[in-house]
Amino acid sequence: MIRSRLWLKTTLLIFIEASKSSPLVKYEVESNTLEITGECYPENAVKFFTPIFQWLEGEIKSLESPLLTVNLNISYFNSSTSKSLMNFFDMLEEAHDKGKEIVVNWIYMEENETAEECGEEFQEDLENLPFNLVIIDSEQII
Amino acid sequence: MSAEDLFQKELDILAEARQQIKNNTYSENPLLPEYQAMTKHYKKLLNQAKRLVTMSDRMQKDLNELNHRLEKLSSLDGLTGIPNRRWFDLTYATEWKRAQRNETPLSVIMMDIDYFKRFNDTYGHAAGDNCLQQVAQALSSGAKRSMEFVARYGGEEFVAVLPGTDLKGGQIVAETMRDLVEKLKIPHLKSEVSDHVTISVGIASLKLPLNRDIKSQTLINAADNMLYKAKDNGRNRVCP
């Protein structure tokens, strides 16, 4: 039933199951939210991120769609992932500058100073894209 | 080295590009805006490279710290907090090689708590664990010189390694350790040699000049044999 409702939307769907070295990637059509959760150190970051970039290319074409929320909760990632994320944010920023409503939430655990500092690096690298640092405490994990 | 220094070459290229654009020869060039955009882009990518290095270093630091913590944990005995058998095996092998190479003395002390099974049966396993912890701390405090250490060898057996110490010096340390345990005054009513917890101690040392044919295990076996002799001779004593 849910599936038939999803098909009504023209937007591409994306769902990648989490593995030991790669995060869960999930797009929720109802809230127009992309979620990436987990550790990210895939053997081939380009290969891993390709479907995500393809999805994003389709998504940013439709300027009239509601606010796109990107929730990232990546506690550990390798260097090629950080570069991929920067490319990803650049694409989002470009779309944002063209008028698409986008907000990125960089979510991390209270005691994870490294995740906080990395979030700040990403934040400082961007000029206009709304990029929030969101702290969750240990009890908020589901 | 700061990221600024690390990317000095890139910064120089950027500065040169800007200088070139400023030069009057280029002011009429129709491609000038594109050059300017490219320079801006280069600067952006350079900043990203700096950030990537910062983040990567940060992650690596976390992993290294974690690695060190795990390494330390894997070398300590969970109950007593002193080095475990694994650590003993590794470190003793190193000390053995060092003694062989430098022709320096090396002593090994094997120690065993007297009537420990009876202690456990009488006072319970929690008291037994507590006894092991106290004995381990007392013995460790007896290994004073750098490179000397006491490890839990197994069950109620402990081992001390004394690099640079000959039999005579080793016997003094062994007697100190026996005395330290006796002074803990842990009651042991089922012991046949004392009212308190005691240990039997066996010691063996490398003889100089070295016999190159003997193996590292030989010294441990010799100390172990001396421990059995101490047991046979009435416990709560050092042998030889």
The Cα A89–Cα A132 span in angstroms is 13
Q: What is the CA radius of gyration of chain B?
A: 32
Q: Chain B contacts of A124, Cβ < 8 Å?
A: 51
Residue B4 has pLDDT above 80, yes or no: no
Model confidence at B171, pLDDT cuts 50, 70, 90, reads very high
Pairing of the two strands B106-113 and A131-136: unpaired
Q: Which residue from A79, A86, A114 is facing B62, i.e. has the nearest CB?
A: A114
Whole-number pLDDT of residue A5 = 43
pLDDT in tens, B85-125: 999 999 999 999 999 888 899 999 999 999 999 999 999 99
B163: which 2 tokens? Answer: 């690099």
Q: How many CB pairs under 8 A join A and B?
A: 32
Instruction: Evaluate whether A10 touches A45 at the Cβ level (below 8 Å).
Output: no
Query: Which pLDDT tens digits describe chain A residue by residue (142 residues)?
Result: 344 444 345 556 889 999 999 999 999 988 899 999 999 999 999 999 999 999 998 888 776 778 999 999 998 999 999 999 999 999 999 999 998 999 999 999 988 999 999 999 999 999 999 999 999 986 655 5
ipTM, 2 dp = 0.84
A26: which 2 tokens? Answer: 């999930």
Exposed, middle or buried, B68 (CB in 10 Å: 0-12/13-18/19+)?
A: exposed
Q: Which residues contact B99 (CB under 8 A, 6 or more apart)?
A: B105, B106, B163, B206, B210
Q: Chain B contacts of A117, Cβ < 8 Å?
A: 55, 58
Four-residue CA torsion sign, A35, A39, A40, A42: negative
The DSSP code for B89 is: H
The Cα B145–Cα B148 span in angstroms is 6
Instruction: Evaluate whether B115 touches B156 at the Cβ level (below 8 Å).
Output: no
Q: Is the full-model pTM beyond 0.90?
A: no
Q: Which residue from B47, B48, B58 is facing A118, i.e. has the nearest CB?
A: B58
**Which of A75, A82, A128 has the most B C-beta neighbours within 10 Å, making it the best mutation to test the interface with B?**
A82
Instruction: Evaluate whether A33 touches A67 at the Cβ level (below 8 Å).
Output: no
The Cα B14–Cα B3 span in angstroms is 15
- Nearest residue to A100 (alpha-carbon basis) of A55, A124, A130: A130
Q: Where are the beta strands (DSSP E) in chain B?
A: 106-113, 149-154, 157-163, 199-205, 238-239
Pairing of the two strands B238-239 and B199-205: parallel
Q: Which helix (H) or strand (E) holds B61?
A: helix B32-73
Q: Chain B contacts of A119, Cβ < 8 Å?
A: none
The Cα B15–Cα B21 span in angstroms is 10
* C-alpha distance from B6 to closest chain A C-alpha (Å): 17
Whole-number pLDDT of residue B2 = 52
Could you give the strand order of the β-sheet that contains A15-16, starting from the edge strand earlier in sequence?
A15-16, A24-28, A33-37, A68-73, A102-109, A131-136
* C-alpha distance from B55 to closest chain A C-alpha (Å): 6
User: Torsions phi, psi of B75, nearest 5?
Assistant: -105, -5
Contact residues, chain B to chain A, C-beta under 8 Å: 47-48, 51-52, 54-56, 58-59, 62
Three-state DSSP state, B153: strand
* C-alpha distance from A71 to closest chain B C-alpha (Å): 20
Contact residues, chain A to chain B, C-beta under 8 Å: 76-79, 82-83, 86, 114, 117-118, 121-122, 124-125
Instruction: Evaluate whether B206 touches B163 at the Cβ level (below 8 Å).
Output: no
Residue B62 has pLDDT above 50, yes or no: yes
CA B47 to centroid of chain Cα atoms: 41
Is position B95 annotated as part of the catalytic site?
no
Whole-number pLDDT of residue A2 = 44
Q: Chain A contacts of B55, Cβ < 8 Å?
A: 79, 82, 117-118, 121
Whole-number pLDDT of residue A63 = 66
Q: Which residues contact B132 (CB under 8 A, 6 or more apart)?
A: B79, B80, B113, B152, B156
The Cα B107–Cα B114 span in angstroms is 22
